[in-house]
Amino acid sequence: MKKPAIFLSFALACGGAAAQGVSPADPFLRQAPAQATPTLRGVATAPTAAPAGNLNLTGMQNATFGNPRTSNNGSQTRVVFDLAPGVTYTLMPTFAGLRIDVQGARVLPAVTAALGSSVSEYRAGGGQATVVTPFPLSFTEGWRASEATLATGGRVLILEFGAVVSGGASDSLRALVRNSPPTTTAATAEANAVLNSPLGLRAAGSGTGTPGAAPATVSPPSRTTQTQTPAPVATRPTAANPDQLPPGDTVQPGKQFPPAPALPDANAARPSALTGRVAGQVQPGALLTAPRIGKNPGLTRLVLDLPPGSTYQIQPTALGLRIELTGLSVMPQNAQNVSPEVRTWRFEPTTAGVEITLVTATPTTARSGWRAQLLPPTPGSDRARLALDLSPALANLTPLAPSERLVAAVPPVPATRGTAILALSANYVQPRVVLDPGHGGRDPGAVGSVIEKEVTLNVALRVRDLLRAAGVDVVMTRDSDRALNSVKNTDLQMRAQTGSPGTQLFVSIHVNAMEANTALRGYGIETWWNPNHPMSSSLASILQRQMVGVTGAFSRGLKSNQSLSVLRNSRIPAALVEIGYASHPVDGLNLQDANYLDRVAVGIAQGIREALTSGVTAGNAVGGGGK
Ligand SMILES: [Zn+2]
């Protein structure tokens, strides 16, 4: 569901919004050009300790802050800001991302979507910039910040974001970090305005991630100490253990978050309608009231009460959802920082009725990131209820059409030198691949809303059948609930070496998990590779793209690891797919859903087919064969 980065100009983002009545805290209003005077800033921000004595008024006319440079390394996103002389700033990790309050420079207004897989949006203006992340940040988890001095003498602020990034501010920057401010009045009111709803929604705030855990200690200010060392690069520390296990395998079964209550007659296999109409005659003068909001772990439910005769039209966008309503009107209103899944909702009157903008944690597609259902009025009311469920983990659970499940026949592939088994001609052989359903027997793998060993076997058997029907020779490391060896390292080595000479590809299938205290940050699909073979990264890339394309799941991107035993010990192009999180309340439901598993399997099978037909094979690499 990742989309290319899209830049929205200020005019487009504002869309001619009526400014009257909009709270000064409206992030869209902050795009107003060049108002970064200290006074205005003071109004907009909570009273806090700005670094004392560093306000540089003389530099303000010319110094600017913004236009960050970004780069991506796997699922990590790096954002680099140039720091003009005299610029100071404070960093504030929140559940919605990292807020940067800037002094001594004008913050360049911007609204930019999807800077990378770990930065879903960048917004700036009015003295502050916010790097919006698809996961909540604590003081030390989800981000890392440091400063560096370039060879030119220029100073830069380096921010790195990722679900597995940790560290927070570097020692020299720690004094610039402060706690999240109390929620804005609008958001608090909204959070309290929940829900004597007949839908059985949970009260606001219950069970959601804890934003900004307080730091144990705050070191004294040390603004004069600049980091002189080169910028740290976005690498994960690799474990000393050369036989590292796949991610999620070492997680102990922990507290499970209950899934959100299902809507009446909810059926995830049915695509949510993008349009709808409430029965009855339009009521002149009907007004839309603020949404009712229910917060559940990993999912936010937003309910719109629609009068008779009104219509809705939902448009998935890179920022979230846009909803056009007719048959009613509204007073402009909005709320920010509503929940980890909903950054902002905004109501605006239009000539036809109402336009609603929902800024969500990650981009949405027609089939993922959200679900909607139009429910009839409850007794005593004449308003129907449009219930919108929003979660970045909501995948496409609609059944595939038979034609979409068909994997086209795979033609013979070039033989690996000296291993022409089943030769169909002198140099071409029937392609053979190894599928490795992770775990088995006494080793269950991750245990959460599903048991990993069961899901991996389920998916692998589906992939096997799809590939065999396409003419591929499939070797399974296991096709029943068993381990290959009771010693884990031996077991992994045996898996890696399954298959005989002439085997083209090795694909290991796993389910991910997070510890209970970070469980809500883990959702989506990722693929691991190892430099065991020159074609392994290509195989991983193809598999990731195909799986995300068919499932609509959140893409956590590619990850490389030097020490994943099951990949490192393979002599052919190898990849390990993590198809979802057993520890996440929404992803866990995906993994229990036959349509999701079917889509994952088709994605893997199509990926293997694409690899085999595009030259990503054991025998087709410079120096192929590995070590
Ligand atoms: Zn595993």
Amino acid present at 502? G
Residue 98 clears pLDDT 70, i.e. is over it: yes
Provide the pLDDT for residue 179.
Answer: 61
Residue 627 clears pLDDT 70, i.e. is over it: no
How far does the centroid of ligand 1 lie from the alpha carbon of residue 140, in Å?
26
How far does the centroid of ligand 1 lie from the alpha carbon of residue 233, in Å?
28
Provide the pLDDT for residue 620.
Answer: 62
How far does the centroid of ligand 1 lie from the alpha carbon of residue 496, in Å?
14
Provide the pLDDT for residue 99.
Answer: 86
Residue 414 vs residue 455, higher pLDDT: 455
- Phi and psi at 9, nearest 5°, equal -70, 165
Confidence band of 579 (pLDDT split at 50, 70, 90)? very high
Residue 549 clears pLDDT 80, i.e. is over it: yes
Provide the pLDDT for residue 18.
Answer: 33
CA dihedral of 146, 152, 154, 156, whole degrees rounded to 10: -30
For residue 368, how far is the Cα from the chain centroid?
A: 12
How far does the centroid of ligand 1 lie from the alpha carbon of residue 446, in Å?
6
Contact in structure between 609 and 407 (CB atoms under 8 Å): yes
Rounded Cα distance between 606 and 403, Å, is: 13
Average pLDDT of every residue of the chain: 79
Torsion 129-131-137-143 (CA) sign: negative
How far does the centroid of ligand 1 lie from the alpha carbon of residue 246, in Å?
6
Provide the pLDDT for residue 38.
Answer: 28
How far does the centroid of ligand 1 lie from the alpha carbon of residue 576, in Å?
9
- Phi and psi at 457, nearest 5°, equal -70, -40
Rounded Cα distance between 336 and 31, Å, is: 15
User: Which letter, b or e, does each residue of 587-623 get, where b requires 16 or more Cβ atoms within 10 Å of its Cβ?
Assistant: bbbbbeeebbbbbbbbbbbbbbbbbbeeebbbbbbee
- Phi and psi at 500, nearest 5°, equal -105, 170
Residue 423 clears pLDDT 80, i.e. is over it: no
- Phi and psi at 548, nearest 5°, equal -65, -35
How far does the centroid of ligand 1 lie from the alpha carbon of residue 513, in Å?
9
pLDDT in tens, 485-509: 999 999 999 999 998 788 999 999 9
Provide the pLDDT for residue 425.
Answer: 52
Provide the pLDDT for residue 416.
Answer: 62
Residues in contact with 284: Cβ distance below 8 Å, sequence separation at least 6, in sequence order: none
Polymer length in residues for the chain: 627
Rounded Cα distance between 388 and 380, Å, is: 22
Residues in contact with 216: Cβ distance below 8 Å, sequence separation at least 6, in sequence order: none
How far does the centroid of ligand 1 lie from the alpha carbon of residue 126, in Å?
46
Residue 456 clears pLDDT 80, i.e. is over it: yes
How far does the centroid of ligand 1 lie from the alpha carbon of residue 22, in Å?
49
Q: For 553-574, what is the mean pLDDT?
A: 93
Rounded Cα distance between 566 and 604, Å, is: 18
pLDDT in tens, 173-227: 877 777 643 333 333 333 333 222 323 233 233 333 333 333 222 233 323 223 3
pTM for the structure as a whole: 0.65
How far does the centroid of ligand 1 lie from the alpha carbon of residue 453, in Å?
8
Confidence band of 85 (pLDDT split at 50, 70, 90)? confident
Residue 337 clears pLDDT 90, i.e. is over it: yes
Helix 452-469 × helix 594-613 angle, to 10° = 50
